[in-house]
A and B are shown apart, each in its own frame.
Chain A
Amino acid sequence: MKALTIEHLNKTYRNGFEALKDINLTVEEGDFFALLGPNGAGKSTTISILTSLVTKSSGSVKIFDADLDSQMELAKSYIGLVPQEFNFNGFEQVKHILVTQAGYYGVPAKEAEPRADALLKQLGLWEKRHTASRSLSGGMKRRLMIARALVHNPRLLILDEPTAGVDIELRRSMWVFLREINQRGTTIILTTHYLEEAENLCRNIAIIDKGRIVEHTDMKSLLNRLDKETFVLDLLEPLTDSSILNGIAYHQVDANTIEVELHRQEGLNGLFSELTKRGIKVGSMKNKVNRLEELFLTLVERPESAE
């Protein structure tokens, strides 16, 4: 079953700005789906239309076969939204926020309270349950928004930049949590600026740019399209004689660091045997930029040159 079906979706704002141009998109049930795009590409408009915060100009949206126009209540009941900006009542207590949100979805308080308690414990907010939400730290506020989105057990969880401004440790613990939620059957749509996050978590991806979908595929085939990668090599000893690397296309960053660009078919073995032969010892190696990032930059530039 499709968790989301978008057909010919268009949005033109009152000022004439065309935010979405004939968007077609499907997300399978159980998927962990990335919706990526540069700032102003149309990601947030798409999400706002799915969650009824923005009215579409034309086109159709179905959430688990429930049409957003004709079966709005049913369609909305399937969705849990983690928005980009904090949007809870800062004066309300953390637990009240969750129980109230559940009530909007028809979950009675006696059922919502144990659910809220469980989520607060899972997300490390239990100690803060009676605190006014405005007193929480930034990371706690992000977790509160995730708990709020999950309290009515949605089938489709939409996360709009859930880890923006969150430290790496918390970000990784959120990844673990989201993977668990997904494995338990919740379909997840994620937008993020951290492409490493999308590459790590998501199985399928759509890239939106200037209001159009420029790519809609699975993550593996997209990454396979990357035909060259740049690696950063940290050398154990400083490179004093650059002639020692003759024949290898490289760029020296500093005495102990070089960057090497490799075509996919070349593989790493050849490079390492060459370096070993020449007595160069490599301490560590990493990709210069995330692989998805390399592709992303290529893809979002394409329509600009086509227009």
Chain B
Amino acid sequence: MNHRYQLHWIAFSTIVTREIRRFLRIWAQTLLPPAITMTLYFIIFGNLIGSRIGEMDGFSYMEYIAPGIIMMAIINNAYSNVASSFFSAKFQNHIEELMVSPVPNYIILAGYVAGGAARGLFVGLIVTLVSLIFTKLTVQHIGITISMVFLSAIMFALGGFINALYARSFDEISIIPTFVLTPLTYLGGVFYSISLLPEFWQNISMLNPVLYMVNAFRYGLLGVSDIPVAAAFAIILLFIAALTTYALYLLHKGTGLRN
């Protein structure tokens, strides 16, 4: 391996290791809450209410919502890990450790995104294990399932990174999750099939990227989806490319970092 890229690889793995160490150290804030919240979703929506709803797309309601709940946990945690970790680094000024070092921007971005995706996947695994207490999960298309998990985690980790670059206060890293991310996930077909909606709202729902992720992931597990899976991959890859380009542009400009 070229010496320069060897140095980049060491820097990348250093950032990822530090990020993983961080969310494991504060597991009571990072790993435990999603496990509890998602357990409540399974009990309330899946068990108590779900038993009265009956089947959806040929599956028990609990089975139907499990992929969406797992995906919701992945998305939220990948996003908030990068947003809070990178913003804290700015807030405490220890981002300067990275800025004075020879680590290039693409490695800084890749390191934080991989760290955020790692938390998303870790929490996704925990929620999957929790869901197995309530329902059975089968995997119909393993490749689609795994790639959708990784791509969704990466996409939202990128979003968290951009949010943290712009943020000037802790309030500003909670605005997007509260007012954008949460509505998008709740309206993204986690708890229902969009075929239940009137046509107008079905069309509006098609503008929601979370709908594609949830449905493609559900297709991977259950084999059913409201949207064409190929379109889901195309849209996510497009978002990842656009967000990566924009994040690198902001880093190059020094937005939120350099005077």
B248 within 8 A of partner (CB): no
Known: A53-B258, A103-B13, A106-B7. A83 touches B102 (CB 8 A): no
Nearest B residue to A148, CB-CB: B97
Contact partner of B96 (CB less than 8 A), chosen from A14, A74, A83, A105, is A83
Number of residue pairs spanning A and B whose beta carbons lie under 8 angstroms apart:
80
Which chain A residues numbered 79 to 111 have a C-beta less than 8 Å away from chain B?
79, 81, 83, 85, 87-92, 96, 100-101, 103-109
Q: B93 contacts A91, CB within 8 Å?
A: no
A236 within 8 A of partner (CB): no
Known: A83-B96, A89-B92, A90-B92. A103 touches B259 (CB 8 A): no
Interface residues on A, range: 20 to 34
Number of interface residues of B (CB under 8 A): 31
| CB neighbours of B98 from chain A (8 A) | 104
CB of A11, distance to nearest CB on chain B (Å): 9
Known: A52-B99, A76-B100, A79-B100. A106 touches B11 (CB 8 A): yes
B54 within 8 A of partner (CB): no
Nearest B residue to A71, CB-CB: B102
B141 within 8 A of partner (CB): no
Interface set of B (CB-CB < 8 Å, partner A): 4, 6-8, 10-11, 13-15, 17-18, 21-22, 25, 88-89, 92-94, 96-104, 254, 258-259
CB<8 Å pairs between A and B, sample of 22: A51-B100, A53-B96, A53-B99, A55-B259, A73-B102, A76-B102, A81-B100, A85-B93, A87-B97, A88-B94, A89-B94, A92-B18, A100-B17, A100-B18, A103-B13, A103-B15, A104-B97, A104-B103, A105-B7, A105-B11, A105-B101, A105-B102
Interface set of A (CB-CB < 8 Å, partner B): 13-14, 51-55, 72-74, 76-77, 79, 81, 83, 85, 87-92, 96, 100-101, 103-109, 148
